[in-house]
Amino acid sequence: MARRQWVRLGMMAGSMALVAAACGSTSTGAAASGSSASQIPANYASYALHTGDTFSWVFPIPNEANYEPWDQNAEYGMYRPLYVAGNGSSPVIDYANSIGQKPVYSNGNKTVTVTLNPWKWSDGAPVTARDVQFFYNLYVANKSQIATYVPGNFPDNVASFKVDSPTQFTLNLKAAVNPLWFTDNELTDVVPLPQQSWDRLSLTGKVGNFDLTTAGAKAVFKFLYAQASKLSTYATNPLWKVVDGPWRLQSYDPTTARTVFQRNNAFSGPDKPKLSGYVLESFSSQTAEVDALRNGSLDYGYLPMSDVKLASTFKSGGYTIAPWATDYVQWAELGYTSKTWGPLVKQLYVRQALQHLINEPLYLSATLHGDGQLTYGPVPNLPGSPYVSAQEKTDPDPYSVSAAKALLAGHGWTTGPHGFLVCASPGTGATQCGANITKGEPLSLKFMYQTGSPTLQAQVEAFATAAKSAGIDMVLDPQSQSTMFSIGGVCPSSGPCNWGIILYRTFLWNYGQGDVLPTGGQMFGTGNYWGGGYSSPTAQALINATHTQPGLQPLYNYENYISTHVAALWFPTWDWQVSVVSDHLHGWNPQQVFGNPVPSRWYF
């Protein structure tokens, strides 16, 4: 009886911490970093990135450390992808604003032909099939360094690239594909690059056709990568002056990451920008961002979840408040490749027990104020989405400390001398701890999470309280976002993951940048960057089926498996933000389904 009372009190304390965090207030007094209304030129709008987010990669081929939606949103404003993902609030391709016309599939879905619309680079040169081939050649020769690459997918599934004419190219594939998948998830990664300007080995060297050989493509990529790493030259480097999108870099502060874009007056595509420019503002704290809203330095900002009570104040001060629901998924990665914690998280029963300790309904109501969705698997549970299976709409592992304890006790764990569970029955039998878990080993996990968000911290602390109630030693390791990227964003490709669980504030996987159709190859396919090294032959076979078989049933089969297999720990998915927008700014609504603010549509 005494132990049961202690558990209940512990959970009450966790719940009260959640409510306290939800009612917390952002203090005043801190000024926005490097931002004031007087620094915004006429007919420029200012937009706030989330706390800790900075634009820091101009080259529109992402590396591991810079494969983030805020980077790609800015890049794609300068360098349009072949196909624009997201059309208003619909998770579909926006063909009207894409360089490529709708692709044509033939030869049993083994041949893809794309015709280009008549776009131009800012130097007057046309955007041609040769520019797409330039991207393709760089990608093929350097794929191991590119964050969007998943073995077996693009470009491994392409047998040949043929330039048919300046405005048309053909891809011959190695096998038949699902056209919806190949268009939505493969071709959206393709970005025509200005071959007539970038196919060189130095800033002063002549432009050639270096990319036509593997050695040349590697040399060109190395040069461009090195130039993109020089943040101090972003605004002056002539490479980045040649763009085909509606914006070009005007200024960049490598210290604060404040980025100013000016209108590309030579932009040849539709949806021409009405503003003269816009500014990306970065903030070191949520306090600074809210204060920038208060003092009128921001046209388009957001309220932290812990400060949504300020909404009425901003409404009366000339702002519109609009939650921004996006087609994302929130999860905590598990360190499958960790030598210390990998053997634990590789056990399905351990993952199921951990999921039982995440009180999603409480987190959603108490810390997110209902601005989000419950998450039960890898496909966004956005209302009305056709991609969510019936099974994934219900929780396979609902919150229950007793269920978690029963799972662990049933697999050979018992309370040790320090009050936490230890393995009493090592081995791989049905009632034993599992492979590579030794006798007496404690059930202890290192949980790295991002600092700077009271909302996230409240969720993490409540989870840790529940874990302790179940006998799990949850060692919390709060870190800044930059530190987390340097540790968590480079494994497992650069070595084992040095954590058991890792959770980012804005780790809402953006299906619009990598996958429009949420088939999961980049997230949970073998060789992924963002699944902690998760690898399952069954999951891979199901993912492969979504690539080759038409219809939605293969997608449902995949998501149901990943959901019940608990490939990651599912947390409630936050709305991208609660937007606070000046009533003087128009054209921003509807807010784009993949979190892209689309500044080309704004106007005062």
Give the model confidence (pLDDT) of 349-362 as tens digits. Answer: 999 999 999 999 99
Predicted confidence at residue 14, as pLDDT, reads 39
Tokens of 282: 């970065």
Least confident of 23-27, 239-243, 386-390, 529-533: 23-27
d(C-alpha 247, C-alpha 271), whole Å? 12
User: Who contacts 208 (Cβ-Cβ below 8 Å, separation ≥6)?
Assistant: 199, 200, 216
Is 12's pLDDT higher than 70? Answer: no
The candidate with the shortest Cα–Cα distance to 60, out of 135, 121, 137, is 135
User: Are 64 and 529 contacting, i.e. CB atoms less than 8 angstroms apart?
Assistant: yes
Which residues on adjacent β-strands are paired with residue 442?
A: 422
Is 384's pLDDT higher than 90? Answer: no
**What confidence tier does 365 reach under pLDDT thresholds 50, 70, 90?**
very high
Which segments of 155-198 are extended strands (E)?
158-165, 168-173
Least confident of 279-288, 419-428, 489-498, 554-563: 489-498
* Amino acid letter, residue 7: V
d(C-alpha 594, C-alpha 73), whole Å? 10
Predicted confidence at residue 90, as pLDDT, reads 85
* Amino acid letter, residue 117: N
Q: Give whichever of 56-65, 171-180, 547-556 has the largest mean pLDDT.
A: 171-180
Average confidence (pLDDT) over 569-575: 94
Angle at 504 between CA 315 and CA 402, to 5 degrees: 100
Predicted confidence at residue 512, as pLDDT, reads 56
Q: Quick one: how far is CA 145 from the chain centroid?
A: 18
Burial class (CB in 10 A: 0-12, 13-18, 19+), 83: buried
Average confidence (pLDDT) over 62-78: 90
The candidate with the shortest Cα–Cα distance to 201, out of 182, 187, 216, 214, is 216
As a whole number of Å, the end-to-end CA separation of the chain is 65
- Total residues belonging to the chain: 604
What DSSP letter does each residue of 495-533 carry, written as one string?
S--S-SEEE-TT-B--TTTT-SS---HHHHSTT-SSSTT
Is 493's pLDDT higher than 80? Answer: no
What are 40-61's pLDDT values in tens digits?
899 999 999 998 899 999 999 9
**What confidence tier does 383 reach under pLDDT thresholds 50, 70, 90?**
confident
Predicted confidence at residue 507, as pLDDT, reads 56
Higher pLDDT, 121 or 33: 121
Model pTM? 0.82
Please report, to the nearest 10 degrees, the dihedral formed by the alpha carbons of residues 159, 160, 161, 165 taken in order. Answer: -130
Average confidence (pLDDT) over 172-181: 96
Q: Which domains does the chain have, with CATH numbers?
A: 47-55+231-325+583-601 (3.40.190.10), 64-228 (3.90.76.10), 327-574 (3.10.105.10)
d(C-alpha 89, C-alpha 66), whole Å? 25
Sign of the four-CA dihedral 270, 273, 279, 285: negative
The sheet with strand 111-115 has its strands ordered as 104-106, 111-115, 168-173, 158-165
Higher pLDDT, 403 or 91: 403
The candidate with the shortest Cα–Cα distance to 201, out of 185, 180, 215, 188, is 215
d(C-alpha 335, C-alpha 342), whole Å? 6
Angle at 486 between CA 483 and CA 488, to 5 degrees: 95
Is 106's pLDDT higher than 60? Answer: yes
d(C-alpha 287, C-alpha 32), whole Å? 8
Average confidence (pLDDT) over 144-160: 92
Higher pLDDT, 40 or 470: 470
What are 245-278's pLDDT values in tens digits?
999 999 999 999 999 999 999 999 998 999 999 9
C-alpha distances in angstroms, 240 versus 32, 46, 237? 28, 22, 6
* Amino acid letter, residue 128: T
